[in-house]
Structure 1
Amino acid sequence: MQRSEHRILTTHTGSLPRPPELTRLYARRARGEAVDAAAVAAAGQAALHRIVPSQLEAGLDVINNGEQQRDSFALYLRHRLTGFGGESQRTTFADIEAYPEFQAGFAQQSAEKEFVSNTAFLPAAVAPVTYADPGVIEAECEDFAAALAPAAGRYAEAFLTAPSPGIVAAIVQNRHYDTEDAYFAALGAALAVEYRAIVAHGFLLQLDCPDLALERHCSYRDRPLADFLDFVERVVATINTAIAGLPRDRVRLHVCWGNYEAPHDHDVPLEEILPILLRAEVGGLVLPFANPRHAHEVGCLARMPLAADQLLVAGVIDTLTNFVEHPEVVAERIIRAAEVLGDPRRVLAGTDCGFDTSAGRGRVAPDVVWAKLRSLAEGARLASARLFPG
């Protein structure tokens, strides 16, 4: 994982807007409609080859495939893992349910869009969970490498994402294993196939772990904090087992409180979970510090610092509003993170979360997404001039 040795490097958190036709195909397939697999594959390939140069044109340094060949940051696994079937029921987020008027408007907005739902049509684990065909992730890595080839020398690093065992367990509920820990272990072993393939192909691995914060106001909304922290500990232990032997500096871990615009006043504070997050054997954390609920929590890293070899990807762009952050605001956020860590070389500038974590669910218009990313790059240039004088 490259440091910001001479200037602040820029990146993002994974998903980028998918073309409307690709979104429609994914949404139809998720609803159980018959969709031509070849058409989905062709549309995903075309989108991939557009998304790589778009990131470079926006000024990003550490780029990915935009998750174009997946319909969701986590639910794409229903097409790759065995043992899924039946139906799961996702618990309502506490902050949405606490505001009935907001909840009604939120539901209406969702009903008006074509998207892949992260709360409906969810499978359950009804049989042993394994990774069905390692050739699938191998092909995804090879496709990405091919899309990157024309851009050789124009980017610093490339990454691919894969979800935490905990978020998969929260969405795809256990109907098969005797204990939750046994389910975690099975998911960890299955997901390790993707984790290891991504690193073996020379890409950074980003672990997407919203569960490590989000599930406090979802699955654990009516349970004591101690129960949730125990969940976080067990998931981090499962992750460490799954990535054992991978170089720390090839893995970064993303945590957030859910990529949806809502009150978020039921979120667990970062200070409660950070001591456990720091046990993850990873080279860096990707944390959201642009949104109004958690921006101040960058200060937690002064009291509970990262390990000396770890980097911070600081979220300095909000992925849930169509405000285009002024580059000076971006620069101020980057500089604040560098001051807290005490070394600007250990800071990269990124986004709070993905822009389209389930196809069609993105809140930000695609053209505004690219304006935001250009502002990220410009803000990083301003911050670099102040953090690396001369």
Structure 2
Amino acid sequence: MADRIACTHTGSLPRPPALTRLHARRARGEAIRADEVAAAARAAVAEIVPRQVACGLDIVNNGEQGRESFVLYLRDRLTGLGGESLRGGWADVEAYPEFKAEVVAANAGKETASMTANLPAAIGDVRYIGAAAMQAECAEFRAALDAARPAPVGAFLAAPSPGIVASVVQNRHYDTEEAYLAALADALAHEYRAILDAGFTLQLDCPDLALERHGSYQDRPLSDFIAFCERVVTAINRAIAGLPRDRIRLHVCWGNYEGPHDADVPLAEILPVVLKARVGGFVLPFANPRHAHEHRCFLRTPLADDQVLVAGVIDTLTNFVEHPEVVAERLERIAQSIGDPSRLMAGTDCGFDTAAGRGRVARDVVWAKLRAMSEGARIASDRLFAGR
């Protein structure tokens, strides 16, 4: 926006407990009626869209209410999946066994859709069969938007990158990783285009471009990981070829979990590769205490003139409600690094519930944090746009 900092968020919002239970049971392989999940999700979306507007968000989404997680919902929209994938641990968590034991104990018995258990693999040709499901999701979201008063300024839907799908759904079929990424790109391109055709902004969720350094590449040289990032960005550009760059934003993070994060790859190492993605904006976490300083990377490696930055200024892993002045100060510092506050938006570090039931922040606190973000953006806007 030309005269103020707009507010958005990164994607998932807490699901109602009953819907969380349905997603968790379905993710475990239990027989759950599809119409029961759909009805619960539809009601959740209808409630969550106006609530985002009431919190002061300008660009809203459907909270990913109908998805079990930000990536594994695709098990119903892609062919060629079956068998089992084995996901390893994170280097920072493995380095602290006492911390790891506390995490395991805290999660024991929680009703969640796991991101590490019951994972499929690619065992055949991967093709997209999710057109009807995607159209239904878009129509459901559009109905909620049309009913919202006041109406939001804009709307987005997220979809995972070929790289994170390849990392979670491991290849047991294609001869090379490049061939697997290309197949995923061609399949996911249908979902990307459907989101744009429905009139929404597309957010590409690409945690793999940072997370996999301390995951599947933790025991390999940094150069190997950077080469992986190059292959993923090539696949992303293949998938979005011909699509409007200004309506696509790309989210990168180091994993939406509370942990030491002292094995994270620095943003400076990956930013030159990330910026090769042909998108109009980037969504990056800067409330995260491990990465809050890295907005300064844009002083040395700037955005293109037509790109925007959605800066995470709200932590999605703690129940602290950030003071609006803290939010404003974060936005002002980041604006100095990118050089133009009109190309800056306020956002969250990641989603609040990236897999159903895995969120760390209580539902009522989530809304308080989002209200604090919008108030902080207003304060920062008053300062940054004064006299313009």
TM-score bracket relative to the smaller structure: over 0.9
Match of 2:84 in 1: 87
- Alignment partner, residue 14 of structure 1: 11
Match of 1:283 among 274, 280, 285: 280
The AA in structure 1 aligned to 2:198 is H
1:323 and 2:320 correspond: yes
Query: Cα 1:314–1:294, aligned 2, differ >3 Å: closer, same or farther?
Result: same
The residue aligned with 2:194 is 197
Q: Are 1:158 and 2:155 an aligned pair? A: yes
Partner SS, residue 22 of structure 2: helix
* Distance in 2 between residues matched to 1:347 and 1:260, nearest whole Å: 25
Displacement, 1:151?
2.4
Contact kept? 2:288, 2:349, Cα under 8 Å: yes
- Look up the SS of the partner of 1:313 in the other structure: strand
Structure 2 residue aligned with 1:75: 72
Give structure 2 stretches of 5+ with no counterpart.
Answer: none
In structure 1, distance between residues paired with 2:146 and 2:87 = 40
Structure 2 counterpart of 1:333, one-letter code = R
Matched, 1:214 2:214: no
Hey, what does 1:353 align to over in structure 2?
350
Q: Which of 16, 23, 27 matches 2:24?
A: 27
Classify the secondary structure of the residue corresponding to 1:116: coil
Measured in 1, the distance between the counterparts of 2:41 and 2:152 equals 22
Candidates 231, 251, 264, aligned match of 1:267: 264
Deviation at 1:247, TM superposition (A): 1.0
Alignment of 1:1-390 (within 5 A): 4-151=1-148, 154-390=151-387
Deviation at residue 76 of structure 1 after TM alignment = 0.4
Runs of 4+ in 1 over 3 A off after TM superposition: none
Deviation at 1:133, TM superposition (A): 3.5
Question: Take 1:134 and 1:53, find their aligned partners in 2: how far apart are those partners?
Answer: 27
Question: Contact (CA 8 Å) 2:145, 2:151: kept in 1 or not?
Answer: no
Structure 1: where are the runs of 5+ without partners?
Answer: none
Structure 1 distance, partners of 2:277, 2:31, is 41
Deviation at 1:223, TM superposition (A): 0.5
The aligned amino acid for 1:307 is: A
CA distance in 1, matches of 2:145, 2:27: 29
Q: TM-score, normalised to structure 1's length?
A: 0.98
For residue 138 of structure 1, report the CA deviation from its aligned partner. Answer: 1.3
**Secondary structure at the counterpart of residue 68 of structure 1:** coil
Return the letter of the residue paired with 1:26: H
Cα 1:133–1:15 shift into 2, 3 Å: closer
- 3-state SS of paired residue (2:212): helix
Partner amino acid for 1:265? D
1:36 maps to a residue whose letter is R
Q: CA deviation at 1:112?
A: 3.1
- Closer/same/farther in 2, CA of residues 213 and 159 from structure 1, 3 Å limit: same
Q: Normalising by the residue count of structure 2, what TM-score does the alignment of the two structures yield? A: 0.99
Could you give the per-residue CA deviations for residues 87-128 of structure 1, whole angstroms, max 9, x where no partner exists?
Answer: 110011110000000000111111131100000110101111
Task: Look up the SS of the partner of 1:356 in the other structure.
Answer: coil
Q: Separation in 2 of the partners of 1:86 and 1:355?
A: 30
CA pair 75-133 structure 1, distance change in 2 beyond 3 A: closer
User: In structure 2, the residue corresponding to 1:216 is in which secondary structure?
Assistant: coil
Mean Cα displacement is larger for which, 238-247 or 142-151? 142-151
Residues in 2 aligned to 1:38 and 1:310: alpha-carbon distance in whole angstroms: 40
Q: Distance in 2 between matches of 1:152 and 1:161?
A: 23
Structure 1, 31-40 or 347-356: larger mean CA deviation: 31-40
Q: 1:185 and 1:152 mapped to 2: Cα distance?
A: 42
Matched residue count = 387
Tell me how far 1:79 sits from its aligned partner. Answer: 1.1
Q: CA RMSD in A?
A: 0.8
| 1:160 match: secondary structure | strand
Cα drift, residue 342 of structure 1: 1.0
Q: Distance in 1 between matches of 2:49 and 2:306?
A: 29
Looking at structure 2, the residues matched to 237 and 114 of structure 1 have their Cα atoms a distance apart, in angstroms, of 37
Q: What is the SS of the residue equivalent to 2:357?
A: coil
Distance apart, 1:153 and its partner CA? 5.7
CA contact (8 A) 2:13 2:352 kept: yes
Q: Which residue identity does 1:236 align to in structure 2? A: V
Give the 3-state SS of the residue equivalent to 1:206 in structure 2. strand
